Structure 1
Amino acid sequence: MHNNYYFLKVIAATLRQKLMYARLKQCFSQDKDELMLGFERQNGEEFWMKCSLGAQFSSLQFPATFHRAGRNSVDLFSDLLLAEVQEVEMYENERAFSLHFLGDFVLLFKLYGNRSNIILFRDGEFQSLFQSRLKKDAEISLAKIHRPIQQSWEEFQAHDGEYGALFPTFGKEIKAHIHSLGYEEAHLKRRWEIVQEVLAELEDPTIYVYHQEDGVYLSLLKLAGEALYVGHDPLEALNALYKFHYSIGEFLKEKNQLIVFFQRAQDKARLYLQDLQKQGFKRQESVPYEEIANIIMAHLHLIPANVSSVELPDFYRDGIIKVKLNASLTATQNAENYYRKAKNFSKELAHWQEQVDRKMEEIQIWAKRLEEVSQATSRKQLNAFVPLMTKDTSQKEVEEIPFRVFDVQGWTVWVGRNAKNNDLLTMKYMKRHDVWLHARDVAGSHVVIRNPQQKVVPKQVIEEAAGLAAHFSKRQHESLCPVIISSKKYLRKTKDLLAGQVIVDREEVILVPPARID
């Protein structure tokens, strides 16, 4: 409720007492969403207003003193310097008030939550604004800010006791309080009395600051639970709100974000492990490649040419086995393929076991981090974990990128969608320190590991990205696939090459199984 109309009325009345005939001595910004106003009162005392107008949290604060930074600060609203405050005006039924200065200057404080702004007018005409992102604020007319509404008993009767149209400034908290007083069951006259009683309570309220599950809040009404602050001074109350918001509210918000992030990372690793374990079960249940090759060689006379499968006697299990074949190859060549797969199987099995071990270790790491964050009691304890939640690209950027996007152990990987898209990825979007991958000797997608921080890309990340390159290629059904690894400076494209084709001047090749993607 700190930007509620009724609280701003109390703020405006207090500022009228504090700032009448005070001179504005300083007006500057040293943080993106923060404006500092320094006044000299008639008795020579300083009076500071700190206006924090961020998209996530906007509030006024009134520090006793403030020392301007020696650098990275910018003077704003310079025309107002040394001007004297003549009046503090509160606008009817609006979350806005203004300071009137000598020289027909008006500084409007529009406190609309995440659209809050401070706007300068002279002679009623717009001059400049603090939050330039809110461009429509330049169209505000001072003469039209007041919203006079007839709030009489007669109008209340005409609306049959529905107070919404007469009192649009009642927020959900005030409405809930009104209904808790038996408003719904009351007759019309008693309803009017309830509204008047609440309005009287709001005129000179006791101010509370509460900590609830989703943050720290200022309230003009007494709520359940113990308050962090109780008082009647609105400036002191805002200082308390600001302090508790960042010491408690922001800490809890950051802590909850980390907990959710770590839980999701742990769940993702568990799902990946489950998929690996399913692959292991299939391997155990499947017939070894060497046995299939031996069965083919033993029954070459039973295999017709140009068939994609054949049923043969299985002398290992004393039954019949259906064997898949490459119809373009002879029976002997198919047997050779199975012998080759059997030779690679031990490598594939070792790689599979390495992935299983790594994922089990990763799950334990996430569990430990989750426990440490859950037990944290200060923002300082969270500092070591915050970088883990930071990604190379925001979700908005991900949505705008015209490629497939994958998160591989915290690294962003882009995968081309088609030949032209591959060219776009490699020739335009890929940067100098990114890693480029492609399945060798077959058509497939270009794959790029983003590396804007210019770090050494871990071997495990390269292997998983190589698995993606294998999956999005003509080798996706093979047990192991050779994948080229290179970088921007070793890639070039000549005019005679087709879309998606590049020349690789220097490369490294690794053998990986294609990634499994649901």
Structure 2
Amino acid sequence: MHLHYFTLSRQSDFLHPLLSGSVITDSYTQRKNEWVIALSRTGQEAGVLQLCCDGQFPYILHLDHSRRGDNSTGVMEELVGWEIAGIGILPGERIIEITFRGREERLLLQFFTARSNFFLIDGAGDVINAFKNARAHIGKGYQLAERRLPDPFEMPPGNFTAVLQSASGDTIGKALKGFQYLSKPLIRELCFRCELAPETPVSALSGAQIALLADTCRVLRAEAETLPPRIYLRNSVPERFAPVLLDHLQGYEAEAFNDINSALRRFCFYMLKHRGVGQKQAQYRAVLERKIQSLQHALSQLQQRRHDPEKRERYQRIGELIISQPHLLEGSAAEIELTDYFDPEMPRIRVAVEPQKNAVENAEIYFQKARRYDDNARQYEQRRADLQGQLRELQPLLETLRESDSPKALEKIEQILKAKHLLGYQAEEAETYRLPYKVYPFKGYDIWVGRSARDNDTLTFKHAGKEDFWLHVQGYSGSHVVIRNPQRRENLPPEVLNHAARLAVSFSAAKHASYVPVIYTKVKYVRKPRKSPPGAVLPSREKTIFA
């Protein structure tokens, strides 16, 4: 019930004396879906209003302080300097309104789970700005839903009875959904207190039972306004929030709080941090186990196809023997018999030749086979090293998943799996997410090239590792280029660095120039200046190569 009307109403009442008369001094975001509004009163800091429009756990909280980080971005900065006149909830709506002294504009904070959003509205009711999807909303009128259900807490008992009996063909649980504010937890609590099963038909209720339901509704409303809010825990883990007593929750511990703000902060922060931990663990473990099994199978198959080094020596020897005995190719035979001078017993060996070619040309055929064997052997070793490297990287992740349920460790593993394309993006991310870089493998290294200026920021500051190498053409606009460095090497092979530099030039305004300086450094030495345009960064400890 963290998003119930009762909860939001009580929270707005709690916030009103804290916010009224305070002045907005800063407005920014530094985490996904989170908005921080810094406040002051009579020149002194007055804490911050922290808002979140997460699809599952949106919230509005007052915190004592919040430090703005280097990765923050300004949000609705036109609000800076405005004085808050008051805050309250719109009647019957899960929408909190903030008004400003001497201004017609107002903030409407909409808490509709997946459609949660925050709007700046002008005096005519049109959207001036929005926290999410601003382009889709700006200039349009803000419309409230017209459908309004009957209020069970305000109507006389006779009206309650009439509305309930109008759904005589339904069960109690379904009929009570026809009243405003009666969510599933409240319906279950009503039925529990009245000793009725939600599956009971309305037609089976007596007049006394209906009257008891109406009286219990009013008791719940009074509790929502006066009782300490509670978090219900199972095995010390928070699972439910409620501004009323939920006696039907058997087997739960109840933790009461002095104020609604503290309770919401504890519940929402915990749930955002730990939500779906068990499900994610199982999902990521299955992904890793499948990939590790696939790598082990590929390594086993590769070892079965291992090249015999004696074949390379045999091809090389035949080529040299053909050159040493050119007279044997004077005829038109497709096969000749060579004397093997490399063997002390000098046996005769038969080899295939192309009669239209001379001795040197036929020898070159066998030399090419020997060289091809060398190439295949190198590819074999490179492939084997790559498979073993992936196993060395993924197996510790699997052990971490088995031993730890830390959200921080889980988040790190999630990012690694996504970067390796082993894990897809969630539905919420899928609408707005696309891979912000192209991948160019080269000699066992993955080189990432940003797609656009905004993607450059995402690539460098969200996807690249701190020990990866970062490149950019000097003096020209262009893509950020990142060389992945999971082994945390201090130096890269020159040919890899040069190849990445050529990519940086190819994806820049200098692509037609003949000799271009390219700077490179580690990602940890690249920072984003505050309020700088997309793609603009400040590297340090950089070196220069020419491509």
Q: TM-score, normalising length from structure 2?
A: 0.54
Give the C-alpha shift of residue 95 in structure 1.
1.5
Contact 1:27-1:77 within 8 A present in 2 as well:
no
Residue type of the partner of 2:231?
V
2:163 pairs, out of 140, 155, 177, with 155
Corresponding residue number in structure 2 for 1:25: 23
| 1:328-352 superposed Cα distances (whole Å, 9 cap, x missing partner) | 999x999975774356436634653
Matches of 1:352 and 1:459, distance apart in 2: 24
One-letter amino acid of the structure 2 residue matched with residue 488 of structure 1:
R
Q: What secondary structure does 1:209 align onto? A: strand
1:429: which partner in 2? Answer: none
After superposition, the Cα gap between the structure-2 partners of 1:356 and 1:202, relative to the gap in structure 1 and judged at 3 Å, is farther
Match in the other structure for 2:36: 35
Q: Deviations over 1:336-374 (max 9, x none)?
A: 757743564366346535643653454244222332354
Partner of 2:481: 452
Distance 2:51 2:165 in 1: 41
Q: Which residue of 2 aligns with 1:185?
A: 200
* Contact 2:441 2:447 (C-alpha < 8 Å) held by counterparts: yes
What is the DSSP-based 3-state SS (H/G/I as helix, E as strand, rest coil) of the residue aligned with 1:236? helix
CA, structure 1 residues 459+277, in 2 after alignment: closer, same or farther (shift >3 Å)? farther
Separation in 2, partners of 1:51, 1:457? 37
Q: Which residue of 2 aligns with 1:126?
A: 126
Q: Deviations over 1:305-337 (max 9, x none)?
A: xxxxxxxxxxxxxxxxxxxx99x999x999975
2:36 and 2:51 in contact (8 A); partners too: yes
Partner Cα separation in structure 2 for residue 329 and residue 165 of structure 1: 92
Tell me what 2:350 maps to.
Answer: none
Which residue of the partner structure matches residue 274 of structure 2? 249
Q: 1:8 to 1:189 in 2, by over 3 A?
A: farther
Deviation at 1:131, TM superposition (A): 0.7
Q: Which amino acid aligns with 2:5?
A: Y
The structural deviation recorded for 1:59 is 1.0
Q: CA deviation at 1:112?
A: 1.9
The 5 Å alignment of 1:94-133 reads 94-100=93-99, 103=102, 106-121=106-121, 123=123, 125-126=125-126, 128-131=128-131, 133=133
Deviation string for 1:277-316 (max 9, x for gaps)?
A: 224435689x97999999xx9xx99989xxxxxxxxxxxx
Contact kept in structure 2, 1:55 and 1:114, CA below 8 Å: yes
CA drift at 1:451: 7.5
Matched, 1:277 2:300: yes
Assess if the C-alpha contact under 8 Å between 1:90 and 1:97 holds in 2. yes
| RMSD across aligned positions (CA) | 6.2
Q: Distance in 1 between matches of 2:97 and 2:65?
A: 23
- Counterpart residue type for residue 107 of structure 2: L
1:34-79 C-alpha deviation (Å, 9 max, x unpaired): 13264769xx99575322335675211122x336759976784649
Contact 1:258 1:386 (8 Å CA) reproduced: no
> d(CA) in 1 for partners of 2:445 and 2:189?
47
Match of 2:340 in 1: none
User: Structure 1 residue 367 and structure 2 residue 395: aligned?
Assistant: yes
- What letter corresponds to residue 281 of structure 1 in structure 2? Q
- The question of whether the paired residues in 1 share the 8 Å contact of 2:61 and 2:265 is answered with yes
Question: TM-score under structure 1 normalisation?
Answer: 0.56
Q: How many Å apart are 1:167 and its aligned residue?
A: 3.5
What's the secondary structure of 1:50's corresponding residue? strand
Instruction: State the Cα distance separating 1:274 from its structure 2 match.
Output: 1.3
Shift of residue 267, structure 1, vs aligned partner: 3.5
Tell me the equivalent position of 2:65: 66
SS of aligned partner of 1:91: coil
1:15 is displaced (CA, Å) by 4.6
**Which ranges in structure 2 are unaligned for 5 or more consecutive residues?**
152-159, 323-330, 336-352, 450-469, 473-478, 507-511, 516-547
Residue 8 of structure 1: SS of its match in structure 2? helix
- Distance in 1, Cα, partners of 2:377 & 2:297: 16
Provide Cα deviations, 1:446-479, integer angstroms capped at 9, x if missing partner.
xxxx97235679899x99xx9xxxxxxxxxxxxx
Q: Which of the residues 376, 381, 384 maps onto 1:356?
A: 384
Question: Is 1:207 the counterpart of 2:229 in the alignment?
Answer: yes
What is the percentage of aligned positions where both structures have the same residue? 13
Alpha-carbon distance change, 8 to 399 in structure 1, aligned in 2, over 3 angstroms? closer
**Structure 1 counterpart SS, 2:419:** coil
Segments of structure 1 that go 5 or more residues without pairing to the other structure are 305-324, 415-431, 435-449, 467-483, 493-501, 506-518
Partners in 1 of 2:211 and 2:263 — Cα distance? 29
Cα distance in 2, alignment partners of residues 359 and 70 from structure 1: 39
Q: How does 1:195-344 map to 2 (within 5 A)?
A: 196=214, 197=216, 200-201=219-220, 203-205=222-224, 207-210=229-232, 217-220=239-242, 221=246, 223=249, 226-227=252-253, 229-231=255-257, 233-245=259-271, 248-249=273-274, 253=277, 264-265=287-288, 267-282=290-305, 340-341=368-369, 344=372
Matched residue, 1:472: none
In the other structure, the counterpart of 1:411 is 446
Q: What is the CA deviation profile of residues 90-147 of structure 1, one whole-angstrom value per residue up to 9, with x for unaligned ones?
A: 321x311324555565432211234333334454533634515245555676784564
CA contact (8 A) 1:89 1:97 kept: yes
* Equivalent in the alignment of 1:488: 502
Residue 8 of structure 1: how far off its partner (Å)? 1.9
Q: Secondary structure at the match of 1:182?
A: coil
- Give the CA deviation at 1:29: 1.4
Give, in whole Å, the separation in 2 of the partners of 1:48 and 1:404. Answer: 42
For 2:414 and 2:132, the matched residues in 1 are separated by 30
Tell me how far apart the structure 2 counterparts of residues 75 and 8 of structure 1 sit (CA, whole Å).
Answer: 23
Of the three residues 152, 161, 167, the one matched with 2:179 is 167
Distance 2:332 2:129 in 1: 89
